[in-house]
Structure 1
Amino acid sequence: MKQVTVEEFHQIVQDGQAPNILDVRPKELYDKGHVPGAVHFPLSEIEDNLDKLDKDKAYYVICHDGKGSKQGTKILDQHGFDATNVEKGVPDYPGELETA
């Protein structure tokens, strides 16, 4: 499984390299604040929504503490997607957050 630290991920976002960010937290946490450009893609619904993703794109998966994103990345990997887990989570993200 590919992984990046939350600090490395922040730099990638700053450089404009990560347009496909999946935030797998519950909607209420996503709405309170998420990484700019992140799409709400709840962990509990990943397997039911794989058809909404493009296997030709790379995805960064983030959550609250690194556990859900690791699980989500594993599911995407098993289905042939290019996914990278972001270690730690949104509360540790050093940049500005957007609200819904």
Structure 2
Amino acid sequence: MKQLTAKEVETLLNEGKQLNIIDVREVDEIGEGKIPGAIHIPLGLVEFRLHELDKAKEYIMVCRSGGRSGRASQILESRGYKVINMAGGMLDWEGKVE
């Protein structure tokens, strides 16, 4: 599974790169802030919302610490999606939040 650090993701965003970020945390966790532009799909709903995703795009998966996003990455990879796990999750995120 491919991984990027929170700092690497922040750098890509600051460089103006168009990233497809999916935050798999629960609703109450999202209330603490998410990466601007991130799509919220709780881990438990990922399999039910596959139709919303495009296999031609690459997705960066985010959670609180990197564990749930790792599981979500495995789910998506097993179905043919291109994914990168953000290691360290939002605990390591120092960039802007919305």
Q: Give TM-score, length-normalised by structure 1.
A: 0.92
Gaps of 5+ in 2: none
Partner of 1:46, secondary structure, is helix
Whole-Å Cα distance in 2 between the matches of residues 5 and 18 of structure 1?
Answer: 17
1:66–1:18 Cα change, 3 Å: farther
Is the CA contact 1:18–1:60 (under 8 Å) kept in the aligned structure 2?
A: no
Q: Give TM-score, length-normalised by structure 2.
A: 0.94
Return the offset for 1:6: 1.1
- Is 1:36 matched up with 2:36? yes
Amino acid in structure 1 at the alignment position of 2:71: Q
Task: Report Cα offsets for 1:33-87 as digits up to 9, x if no partner.
Answer: 0011101011001111111100111100000010001001111100100100000
Aligned match of 2:23: 23
The correspondence of residues 5-84 of structure 1 with structure 2, limited to 5 A, is: 5-84=5-84
CA RMSD, 1 decimal: 1.0
Aligned match of 2:95: 95
Aligned residues: 98
Is the CA contact 1:64–1:88 (under 8 Å) kept in the aligned structure 2?
A: yes
